[in-house]
Amino acid sequence: MSTVTLSKETLNPFEIAQKQFETAADYLKLDAGMRSMLKTPKRQLIVSIPVRMDNGEIRVFEGYRVQHSLTRGPAKGGIRYHPDVTLDEVKALASWMTWKCATVNIPYGGGKGGVRVDPRTLSLGELERLTRRYATEISVIIGPDRDIPAPDVYTTPQTMAWIMDTISMLHGHTELGCVTGKPLSLGGSKGRHEATARGCQVTTRLACELKGINLSSATVAVQGFGNAGSIAAALLHEDGAKIIAASDSKGGIYSRKGIDPVEALKFKEQTGSLFNFPDAEPITNRELLQLNCDILVPAALENTITLENADRIKAKIVAEAANGPTTPAADAILAEKGILVIPDILCNAGGVTVSYFEWVQDLYGFFWSEIEVNKYLERTMTNAFKEVHATAEKHKVNMRTGAYILAVGRVAEATQVRGIFP
């Protein structure tokens, strides 16, 4: 067992985010005043969302929008619909977005939104009415020059289209740039759908070079088979890697011979889950995380790798396609085991990077080819990976701490230069 002695850990995502920030702040020797400014969310909005259901009943849902920082530009961050959404979770996600945007050096601060709802229980009409009312309630703080939402867990380009149309109706003119992750027909960007996974692919290639792993013969396990996980699996499969396991919220599948991720996604879309996928054995999410593989891709929700299971992780590389999948206590154990973790604020930053490209295209009314989008994305992710690695080497820390030192330092410098108004 590991020699790391941490008897108990918090699983509160905002407390975890604060701890990660404080670690970087210690290395940067930030004073108490700067620490307070950087870790405190700028705005927190809680809204009630009354929705007329199909049967005529009125139900009220609770929603949130948090702007963690506006220092380097407008807030940027997704909106998730999930029955377990909490304000602390949204605050954590907003702060991670601040550091993520700073890591890849794009001119945004961090924001995030959420509605406490299980969208799978709503009809399409109910979902649209909920989305439009939520958009109306948060319209007081969002907009193309203030805060730009995007899709997240259980939200889609259609969700963004409804929000864009609602904001446009309130303003009296079309506001293409008020959200990203939109359909192509409404100012979306080519390459956006695959961007999070493509960023994961680029950083995983670079991590394999560092670890001396041949990606074309590597074995990969993917936990979470939504947009990011399924596309990351397909892209790594194209690079020659063997996908030996994949899972969704209902369980997973395993085959040492390899799984075709494209066929697996088709099967999931037809049946609703990966369960009973041909020529594969059933496996639990817990078992998948502990498989003997080269690359583990956690692509689901927070707190997947914790103090409880970190010592049993056997992968050589953990590529965090999800936000907050590894707790600080688990980080310490993985580092001790020599496992290279590509931190979430770097690994999954491809999504916000191409969201930035989409926003720029919307503002200029000039759109790029998919080849151009992917070229700019690869350049941005490669530069960020090299800067994070160089920072980690300089301070003799792991990649996550290196990313935080780089990101927090950039935001701290911008805050210092801007000063305090009035």
Q: What count of Cα atoms within 13 Å lies in the side-chain half-sphere of residue 60?
A: 4
What the block records as the tokens of 115 is: 């509605």
Q: Which residues contact 377 (CB under 8 A, 6 or more apart)?
A: 191, 195, 198, 199, 202, 350, 353, 354, 357
Quote the CA–CA distance of 350 and 55 in Å, as a whole number.
41
Sign, CA dihedral 85-89-95-99, equals negative
Which run of H or of E encompasses 58?
strand 58-67
φ and ψ at residue 395, rounded to 5 degrees: -95, 0
Which run of H or of E encompasses 109?
strand 109-116
Tell me the residue ranges of DSSP E strands in 272-392.
281-283, 295-298, 317-319, 340-342
| Beta sheet of 147-151, edge-to-edge order | 43-52, 58-67, 109-116, 75-82, 147-151
Whole-number Cα distances in Å, 15 to 6, 89, 91, 92: 16, 10, 10, 8
Q: Is 112 a catalytic residue?
A: yes
Quote the CA–CA distance of 376 and 388 in Å, as a whole number.
18
Active-site residue (options: 42, 100, 112, 316)? 112
Tokens 């992917």 sit on residue: 374
Tokens 């620490």 sit on residue: 35
266 in Cβ contact with 336 (< 8 Å)? no
Q: Which residues contact 28 (CB under 8 A, 6 or more apart)?
A: 405, 408, 409, 412
Quote the CA–CA distance of 90 and 92 in Å, as a whole number.
5
| Rama region for 191: left / alpha / beta (φ>0; ψ in -120 to 50; rest) | left
Tell me the residue ranges of DSSP E strands in 188-232.
219-223
Give which of 25, 127, 39 is closest to 79, Cα–Cα. 127
Give which of 188, 138, 136, 137 is closest to 160, Cα–Cα. 188
410 in Cβ contact with 72 (< 8 Å)? yes
| Active site (catalytic) residues | 112
